[in-house]
Amino acid sequence: MVLNQLGIGIAITGSGSATPEVTLDNRQLSQMVETSDEWITTRTGIRERHLSDTEGSLKAIATKAAERALAMAGIAPKDLDLIVLATSTPDDLFGSASQIQASLGASQAVAFDLTAACSGFVFGLVTASQFIRTGVYQNVLLIGADVLSRWVDWSDRSTCVLFGDGAGAVILQAQEQDNLLGFELRSDGNQNSCLQLEYKAQKQEIVKGVVVGQGTYRPIAMNGKEVYRFAVQKVPEVIEKALFRSNITAEEVDWLLLHQANQRILDAVAQRLSISGEKVLSNLAHYGNTSAASIPLALDEAVREGKIQPGEVIAAAGFGAGLTWGSAIFRWGK
Ligand code: ACO
């Protein structure tokens, strides 16, 4: 695969993240449904999650994350050519990216939403990079943000313990050296029923003989065991493929940055790839599964903690509803 046909490469020059202030810990959850801190911690590694209240919006946390990423990259909102918002939970079903564009004051940028559930950030990274590689755009803001708490059934203990809200963002810029080394994206709609946030229509006869559907969405429904099996099998495969395309071996990976769904999945994938535990980035104890936000949120924390250094190789992988999964291998910084 020739990635850099026009001699234009990608640099990831800034990151930012934001989460709502309100937190819900496992002890509080065990007052709501029949569960325990011990069950949640041993099965998932999650201890608490941040939740958006009714005043909060996807736009608010996404804008905050974006502003932080812009500040780190040292560019102004008006320098942005493109904004891609990876989300499954927009404030507006017509899309929320343009509202974020307006709140940032990114007057020159075109903005759109992209939906690929928990794979959204990786899919967004690859999508955004195409516009840079073709020479069309130079400065791109990619946001992964989700407020899944809006669609959780808080009486379903098998799902409500897993999810949290958050936003993460990165700035992608054109440069000569290509730091997006390779990628692989996959989907399989045959397994769609494993994990859904499905439209639920109620019939409404608007005029005799014309019945339309009106309604809302059903809460998140998941076959946890199937998704777990899928993740542990498919994620190592897709990372191996992306590493192969990048001409990088697993030993050369500095950081494994997986969608933060479950610590057991992170550990199993690392073990399959023979990547040691110290190289696995994990912050899910404090945020739960924040869907499209989880990868940039963990990335931003690791960058700000000084763990990730410029030039280091990161193997990122997302997986989730669709089903979708994908991996991108990149070097941090210019
Ligand atoms: N507290 C206590 N018991 C529970 C809870 C809970 N919160 N939830 C389920 N149980 C019970 C079940 O009822 C079951 O009881 P039973 O044996 O009497 O029937 C028992 O615990 C075991 O349930 P399992 O579902 O088999 O538990 P498992 O070990 O598989 O863990 C989990 C469940 C954590 C959901 C796991 O399957 C998982 O992490 N799956 C992957 C989820 C994921 O990664 N999603 C990512 C994509 S998200 C996206 O795209 C939006």
Q: What is the pLDDT of residues 50-64, one digit of tens each?
A: 999 988 899 999 999
For the stretch 98-136, pLDDT in tens is: 999 999 999 999 999 999 999 999 999 999 999 999 999
313, amino acid identity: V
Rounded distance from Cα 157 to ligand 1 centre (Å):
8
Is 160 known to be catalytic?
Answer: no
Tell me the domain boundaries of the chain. 9-178, 182-190+221-331
Mean pLDDT of all residues in 211-222 = 94
Which candidate in 26, 50, 118, 262 is catalytic? 118
CB 96 within 8 A of CB 268: no
Residue 2: pLDDT above 80? Answer: no
pTM for the predicted model, two decimal places: 0.96
Residue 1: pLDDT above 80? Answer: no
Atom in ligand 1 nearest the alpha carbon of residue 148: 51
Phi, psi of 319 (to 5 degrees): -160, 150
Residue 251: pLDDT above 50? Answer: yes
Is 118 known to be catalytic?
Answer: yes
Mean pLDDT of all residues in 148-161 = 97
Beta partners for residue 329, in sequence order: 182, 315
Q: At what angle do helices 97-104 and 58-73 cross, to 10 degrees?
A: 50
Rounded distance from Cα 162 to ligand 1 centre (Å):
9
Structure tokens at 85: 């918002």
User: Which of these, 264, 334, 325, 250, lies nearest to 295 by C-alpha position?
Assistant: 325
Residue 13: pLDDT above 80? Answer: yes
Structure confidence at residue 3 (pLDDT): 53
Which candidate in 139, 259, 262, 286 is catalytic? 259
Question: Can you tell me the distance from the alpha carbon of 246 to that of 116, in angstroms, rounded to the nearest whole number?
Answer: 23
Residue carrying the six token digits 């079903």: 93
Question: Can you tell me the distance from the alpha carbon of 223 to that of 158, in angstroms, rounded to the nearest whole number?
Answer: 9
State whether the beta carbon of 224 lies less than 6 angstroms from ligand 1.
yes
Q: Report the CATH fold assignment for 182-190+221-331.
A: Peroxisomal Thiolase; Chain A, domain 1 (3.40.47)
Pocket-testing residue among 154, 223, 227, 284, ligand 1, by greatest number of atoms within 8 A of Cβ = 227
Atom in ligand 1 nearest the alpha carbon of residue 262: 39
Beta partners for residue 199, in sequence order: 217
Write the DSSP assignment of 251-319 as a string of letters. GG-SEEEE--S-HHHHHHHHHHTT--GGGB---HHHH-B-GGGHHHHHHHHHHHTT-S-TT-EEEEEEE
Question: Can you tell me the distance from the alpha carbon of 254 to that of 24, in angstroms, rounded to the nearest whole number?
Answer: 32
State whether the beta carbon of 158 lies less than 6 angstroms from ligand 1.
yes
Q: Which residue has the higher pLDDT, 182 or 215?
A: 182
Q: 3-state class of 75 per DSSP?
A: coil
State whether the beta carbon of 287 lies less than 6 angstroms from ligand 1.
no
Is 194 known to be catalytic?
Answer: no
Beta partners for residue 183, in sequence order: 328
One fold for 9-178 and 182-190+221-331:
yes
Average pLDDT, the chain: 96
* Cis preceding linkage at 80, omega within 30: no
Q: Report the CATH fold assignment for 9-178.
A: Peroxisomal Thiolase; Chain A, domain 1 (3.40.47)
